[in-house]
């Protein structure tokens, strides 16, 4: 019988992709930042099926990348992590 424990993990860090602004963004002139969301709207949507399936649409509004839902759960965990200081 195959061991059911997870034996591998992939950590995909998308630092600098721009999935929204941090709470202190106004202090740095970055309020409303959302590079990937703004680019998706500017080009009429993005096709990112693999990243979407992993939960990218959960992090911010991206035209063409629907958010996951309980009926369509992500194939991976997705989280937004503010900078560590």
Please write the tens of the pLDDT for every residue from 22-72.
Answer: 778 888 888 888 889 999 999 999 999 988 888 888 888 899 998 877 777
Task: Quote the pTM value.
Answer: 0.69
Question: Which spans in the chain are helix H?
Answer: 35-42, 49-54, 56-59
Which distant-in-sequence residues (6+ apart) come within 8 Å of 82 by Cβ? 22, 23
Query: How far apart, in Å, do the first and last CA atoms of the chain sit?
Result: 46
Q: What's the full length of the chain, in residues? A: 85
Domain positions in the chain: 31-72
């Amino acid at each position: 019988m195959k061991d059911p424990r997870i034996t591998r993990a992939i950590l995909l860090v998308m630092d600098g992709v721009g999935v929204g602004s941090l709470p202190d963004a106004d202090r740095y002139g970055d309020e409303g930042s959302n590079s990937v969301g703004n680019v998706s709207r500017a080009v009429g949507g993005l096709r990112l099926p693999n990243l979407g399936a992993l939960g990218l649409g959960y992090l911010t509004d991206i035209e063409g990348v629907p958010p996951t839902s309980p009926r369509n759960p992500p194939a991976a965990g997705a989280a937004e992590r503010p900078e560590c200081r």
